Every structure is written in structure tokens, then in C-alpha cells.
Structure 1
Amino acid sequence: MDREGVGRVCLALPGATLDHPFGDDHDAYKVGGKMFVMVGATGGVSFKVSDIAYEVLTESGHARPAPYMARAKWVNLPQIDDWADEELADHIQSAHAIIVGKLTKKARAELGL
């Protein structure tokens, strides 16, 4: 998968939007105003994971703690194509679901989620 592929997967999810809060070279995908995936300027991708997935992925070396976001259980892949497309798409969908689950009922209703 490449940067555009990540964008296609993210924007296909309900209520997902693209923002550039850190500059035009960083793509931040959000739902309800909260980020669930970010693609960096150098081609890496970071995304939200569950507590258990964070431990498994970082301890196995399959992903590394995301810079500045590790305390919130985000992982980073230095290159988007480090994983198979289907595996990355599954994690993107999970990241979206985790963030949707943290939204208020009102916010979810406004987004039709």
C-alpha cells in the first residue's frame, strides 16, 4: 500500500475526513475531529491501536511506538509498505472503530455512526 492507498482506505470509513494540522506533507485522518491515522512527510504511517495490540506489535518488533503518540497507544511503521495491504487496512479499520467508540453518543449520532 502507498500513501494514496491509505487515504482511500481511511476516507472509505464512515465519517472520516482528511486534515493537514501539521503541514501539507502530513495527512491526518480523523473521525469526529479526532485523529485515527497519520501519514508523515517521510512516508511512515502511525495509527491508534488497542492496549493489547500495542503490546503485541511493539514487543514483537512488528511496529514501533509512534513518536509523540506512544503514551496514547499509537504505533508507527517507518514505511507504509512494511505490512501487507490487507493487514494494514484491518488495522486502519480498527483504529477508526477505537476512536468512534470514544466519541460521545451525540457526536456519533451527528456523524450517522
Structure 2
Amino acid sequence: MNIEQYRNYCIAKKGVTEEFPFGETTLVYKVMGKMFTLADIELFESINLKVDPEQGAALREQYTAVQPGYHMNKKHWITVIMDGSVPDKFIRQWIDDSYQLVVSGLTKKQQAELLLL
């Protein structure tokens, strides 16, 4: 997966915005104002994803390219090194999982608003 495939996949999700709150090179995707993934757009060496703590631990054990979230809460975030060792279909699934995890944590009102978009 390259940066354009990553961007296109993330921005196509319902209620998603693309932002740069941490500087010019850190691209952040949010759903209803809540972050679910981010990446450096200049290097695109890795992406950070929100995870269920148990899933994150399992993925770190299974894949050497999956590490504790860089500059993030290590329990709730993972960093996936984009070295080609993880198939794109898994990365897309993990992006979906991250998105759904954030959506499930939204208020009922925000979830209802998201359905209307």
C-alpha cells in the first residue's frame, strides 16, 4: 500500500476528515472529530492505528512490522511498518477495525449524525 492508496481508502469512509494537527507532514484521519489513523506523508514508512488492547497485543506477537504505537498510548495504538511484509488486505482490515472502534466510542447522538451523512 502506498500513500495514495492509504489516503483514498481512509477518506472514502463515512464522516472522515483529513487534517494536519501535528504539523505539515503528519496526516491525521478522524471520524466525527476523533482520530483513528495517522501517518507521515513525506516518508510513509509507517501508519498508526487505534486498536483494542487484546487485538494489538496479538498483532504485535504475530507480525514483526506491528509495534507499540509510536508517540501514542501503547495500549490502545499500534504502529504498522509499511515495509511490504503485511499484506494490504490486512492493513485495510486494520484500518476498518480502527475506524469501527472509534465509531463505537462515539456518543449515540454522534453515531446518529454519522448515519445521516
Identify the residue that residue 96 of structure 1 maps to in structure 2: 99
Provide the rounded CA distance (Å) in 1 between the counterparts of 2:17 and 2:54: 27
- In the alignment, is residue 42 of structure 1 matched against residue 43 of structure 2? yes
Q: Which has the higher contact order (CA 8 A, sep 6+)?
A: 1
Sort the Cα spacing of 1:81 and 1:4 in 2 relative to 1 into closer, same or farther, 3 A.
farther
* Seq. identity, %: 30
Residue segments in structure 2 that go unaligned for 5+ positions in a row: none
Asked whether the equivalents of residues 65 and 83 of structure 2 are also in contact (C-alpha less than 8 Å), the reply is no
Alignment of structure 1 residues 25-104 onto 2, 5 Å: 25-40=25-40, 41-43=42-44, 44-60=46-62, 61-79=64-82, 81-104=84-107
Which structure's residues are more often helix, by fraction? 1
**How much has 1:77 moved relative to structure 2?**
1.7
Residue segments in structure 1 that go unaligned for 5+ positions in a row: none
Asked whether the equivalents of residues 38 and 47 of structure 2 are also in contact (C-alpha less than 8 Å), the reply is yes
Deviations 1:54-80, CA, capped at 9 Å, x for gaps? 111123334000122133511102326
Number of residue pairs the alignment of both structures matches: 113
Task: Give the superposed CA RMSD.
Answer: 1.7
Provide the rounded CA distance (Å) in 2 between the counterparts of 1:47 and 1:14: 17
**How much has 1:81 moved relative to structure 2?**
3.7
The runs of 4+ residues in structure 1 deviating greater than 6 Å are none
